[in-house]
């Protein structure tokens, strides 16, 4: 029995499979992949040094933690396909934990579609920086602490984890999931400004990205309030405060707040009607 099956090896499922293969508590020998298009799972398995299963059922049967990496609209179909194997494994008393990262689908949805109230389910909401070990994955769990900690260990190479109650999952997941897109826009705009000021594009992009990455690291490591860190960069009568004033005049902060609220609103609408 392997530790982790990844069913659906697209962007996010593939990123977490990669993290599992790199995590000290897991590794390629403990990972099995399956995907609707078999070739995709096979290609990734060859790259990561793990195994590709010929079917979702084979992947399900061979692992303890089953990571479901399909789009939310494909989830019901996948669960119906897995339902007989879930029933069989519950009857045999096998240890199986369903792990999902589908936006908006609650734990009750999985149990209802599978017709199984007892199946342990862990909801993850990762974000794309998980692909380079800098992800922020939110965790909502119906499992005992040991199981949740074990899963976090299996995926530790993807970045940080934080456990939150299910009612916060949509808003928090929107913040962590959408922020990379907002940050890319910010970095692209900063680089554009650099290019206008005469810096070559490639360098301007690297400087902007490294400045944003460094600022994020300093914020997290210092534990200081971002306003205080901003004040520390603004010398009286200096250039940074002029830039801060320009951002304020253009409504930078309210635009960022509206972006998060708008995305949360949309996410809520998309989740309406789901369990
Ligand atoms: N991308 C993000 O930033 C992000 C962040 C947090 C959570 N998520 C969640 O992650 C999940 C996957 O998103 P994604 O962006 O990775 O999508 P994606 O790139 O489209 O990947 C989905 C994968 O699932 C496969 N698939 C579809 N139906 C299947 C089935 N019945 N059995 C096996 N494999 C099947 C697809 O195979 P084919 O190759 O045949 O198409 C594809 O490889 C979603 O639930 C999403 O809500 C994504």
| Co-location of 194 and 159 in the same domain | no
| 79-138 pLDDT, tens digit each | 999 999 999 999 999 989 999 999 889 999 999 999 988 899 999 999 999 999 999 999
Separation between Cα atoms, residue 92 and residue 86, nearest integer Å: 10
For residue 51, the enclosing domain spans 2-164
Q: Are residues 153 and 63 in the same domain?
A: yes
Q: Quick: pLDDT tens for 229-263.
A: 999 999 999 999 999 999 999 999 999 999 999 99
Tens of pLDDT along 113-127? 999 888 999 999 999
47 and 122 belong to one structural domain: yes
How many Å apart are CA 189 and CA 30, to the nearest integer? 43
Ligand 1 mean position, distance from CA 224 (Å) = 37
CATH number of the structural domain spanning residue 215 = 1.10.3730.10
Residues 158, 181, single domain; the answer is: no
At 272, the pLDDT band (50, 70, 90 cuts) reads: confident
Beta-bridge partner residues of 65: 4, 97
From CA 60, how far away is CA 32, in angstroms rounded?
Answer: 9
Residues 142 and 194 in one domain: no
Residue 201 and residue 139 share a domain: no
| pLDDT value of position 103 | 87
Q: Is the domain of 41 the same as that of 145?
A: yes
Phi and psi torsions of 69, nearest 5°: -110, 30
Clarify whether residues 53 and 97 are in a common domain. yes
Question: Which atom of ligand 1 is closest in space to residue 13's alpha carbon?
Answer: 16
The residue out of 164, 181, 208 marking a domain boundary is 164
CATH code where residue 92 lies = 3.40.50.720
Measured distance CA(244)–CA(222) in Å, rounded = 22
Residues 6+ apart with CB under 8 A from 3: 20, 26, 30, 31, 63, 64, 65, 154
Q: Whose CA is nearest to atom 9 of ligand 1?
A: 102
Dump pLDDT digits (tens) for 51-64: 999 999 999 999 99
183-225 residue pLDDT tens: 999 999 999 999 999 999 999 999 999 999 999 999 999 999 9
> Do both 137 and 181 map to the same domain?
no
Number of folded domains that form the chain: 2
Asked if the model's pLDDT at residue 164 lies above 70, the reply is yes
Q: Are residues 27 and 155 in the same domain?
A: yes
Closest ligand 1 atom to 127 CA: 5
Q: Are residues 208 and 158 in the same domain?
A: no
Q: What's the predicted TM-score (pTM) here? A: 0.92
- Which of 100, 133, 164 is the endpoint of a domain? 164
pLDDT value at position 136?
97
Lowest mean pLDDT among 7-11, 103-107, 253-257, 266-270: 266-270
Pocket of ligand 1 (CB under 6 A): 7-13, 34-37, 40, 56, 69-72, 74, 77-78, 101-103, 125-128, 177
36 C-alpha vs ligand 1 centroid, how far in Å?
A: 10
pLDDT of 274 over the 70 cut: no
Same domain, yes or no: 97 and 222:
no
Quote the tokens at residue 48: 């990561």
């Amino acid at each position: 029995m392997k530790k982790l099956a990844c069913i659906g090896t697209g962007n996010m499922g593939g990123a977490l499979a990669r993290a599992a293969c790199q995590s000290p508590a897991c590794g390629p020998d403990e990972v099995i992949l399956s995907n609707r298009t078999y070739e995709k799972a096979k290609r990734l398995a060859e790259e990561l040094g793990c195994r590709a299963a010929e079917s979702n059922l084979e992947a399900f049967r061979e692992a303890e933690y089953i990571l479901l990496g399909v789009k939310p609209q494909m989830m019901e179909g996948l669960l119906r396909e897995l339902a007989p194997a879930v029933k069989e494994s519950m009857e045999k008393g096998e240890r199986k934990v369903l792990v999902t990262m589908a936006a908006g689908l609650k734990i009750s949805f999985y149990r209802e579609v599978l017709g199984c109230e007892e199946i342990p389910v862990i909801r993850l909401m990762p974000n794309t920086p998980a692909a380079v070990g800098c992800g922020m994955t939110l965790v909502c769990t119906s499992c005992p602490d040991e199981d949740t900690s074990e899963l976090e260990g299996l995926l530790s190479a993807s970045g940080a984890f934080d456990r939150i109650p299910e009612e916060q999952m949509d808003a928090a997941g929107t913040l962590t999931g959408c922020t990379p897109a907002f940050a890319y826009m910010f970095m692209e705009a900063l680089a554009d400004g650099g290019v206008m000021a005469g810096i070559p594009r490639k360098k301007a992009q690297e400087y902007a990205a490294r400045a944003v990455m460094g600022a994020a690291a300093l914020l997290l490591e210092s534990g200081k309030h971002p306003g205080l860190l901003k004040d520390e960069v603004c010398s009286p009568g200096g250039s940074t405060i002029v830039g801060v004033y320009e951002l304020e005049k253009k409504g930078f902060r309210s635009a960022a707040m509206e972006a998060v609220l708008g995305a949360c609103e949309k996410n809520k609408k998309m989740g309406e009607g789901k369990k």
